Amino acid sequence: MALDKNGIAKRIAKEVKDGYYVNLGIGIPTLVANYVRNDISVEFQSENGVLGMGPFPFEGEEDPDVINAGKQTITTLPGASFFDSAMSFSMIRGKHVHLTILGAMEVAENGDIANWKIPGKMVKGMGGAMDLVASAENIIVAMMHTNKRGESKLLERCSLPITGVGCVKKVVTNLAVLDITSDGFVLRERAPGVSVEEIAQATAGKLHIPEDVPEMDI
């Protein structure tokens, strides 16, 4: 069965390693924090200016001066720090953040990503996404494999205005884990009960299928 959003987050959480500073985007990526093993040390960075982000506050303890990049009220953990926006992006551009997890509308087989604009319809802006994808060396995209109309979001080339060029190396969807290499998308893992054929059918871009494609262990 295809994964739900929490399932995607749970699978991505396995990519978070001990000692990592991690930036989580809005949406599915935010959920990843809930599934990171608690026997490793990880700090979450939010680009509006906090490192060491904790869970949501208890009711009545919300502080309007302590929010994440999604404008949600949050808490901080011991060892946390606050900083200004220029310093926040020094951490990102300067490659001090080890892992970036973000959502996308489209990903192309050459690693291009589109997630900020639908011309004429929706223009919310890129926020910190362009800085993140241009600098981070380890980017994982978390998204559904197809859009609401059932069309593939893994394409030969992005049809929407792109956020960054050739930057995505790994995609985790409700159906599969895929790497992006010079061969295009390489199918690494299937969601439990999902067949290789289903994934191939839902992937518009060039898909390389190795002989053995194990089920995700989540």
Partner 1 sequence: MINKTVANVEEACKGVSSDMMFMFGGFGLSGIPENAIGYLSKQDIYGLTCVSNNAGVDDFGLGLLLQRKQIKKMISSYVGENAEFERQMLSGELEVELIPQGTLAERCRAAQAGFPAFYTPAGYGTEVAEGKEVREFNGKMHILEYAFDADFGFVKAWKGDTAGNLIFKGTARNFNPNICGAAKITVAEVEELVPAGELDPNQIHIPGIFVQRIFQGALYEKRIEQRTVRPRT
Would you please indicate which residues are annotated as catalytic (active-site) residues?
47
What backbone phi and psi angles, to 5 degrees, belong to 190?
-105, 145
Q: Interface with partner 1 includes 55 (CB under 8 A)?
A: yes
Is position 83 an interface residue for partner 1 (rule: CB under 8 A)? yes
- Binder of partner 1 out of 49, 138, 188, 218 (CB under 8 A): 49
Contact 127, 174 (CB under 8 A): no
| Cα 188–Cα 190–Cα 194 angle in degrees, nearest 5 | 155
133 closest CA partner among 112, 109, 161, 153: 112
Query: What is the per-residue binding string for partner 1 in 140-169, x denoting contact by CB under 8 A?
Result: ---------------------xxxxx----
Report the nearest approach of partner 1 to the CB of residue 96 (Å). Answer: 13
Nearer to partner 1, 71 or 217 (CB): 71
> What is the rounded distance in angstroms from the CA atom of residue 93 to the CA atom of residue 89?
6
Q: How far apart are CA 136 and CA 78, in angstroms?
A: 26
Q: Which of 18, 58, 149, 193 binds partner 1 (CB under 8 A)?
A: 58
64 binds partner 1 (CB under 8 A): yes
CA angle 55, 57, 62 (to 5 degrees): 140
**Greatest alpha-carbon span in the chain:** 54
Q: How far is the CB of 59 from partner 1 (least distance, A)?
A: 4
End-to-end Cα separation, the chain, in angstroms = 13
84 binds partner 1 (CB under 8 A): yes
Q: Is 103 in the site for partner 1 (CB under 8 A)?
A: no
**Smallest distance, partner 1 to C-beta of residue 214, A:** 35
Residues forming the site for partner 1 (CB under 8 A): 46-50, 55-59, 61-74, 82-86, 88-89, 92-93, 116-117, 120, 123-131, 134-135, 161-165
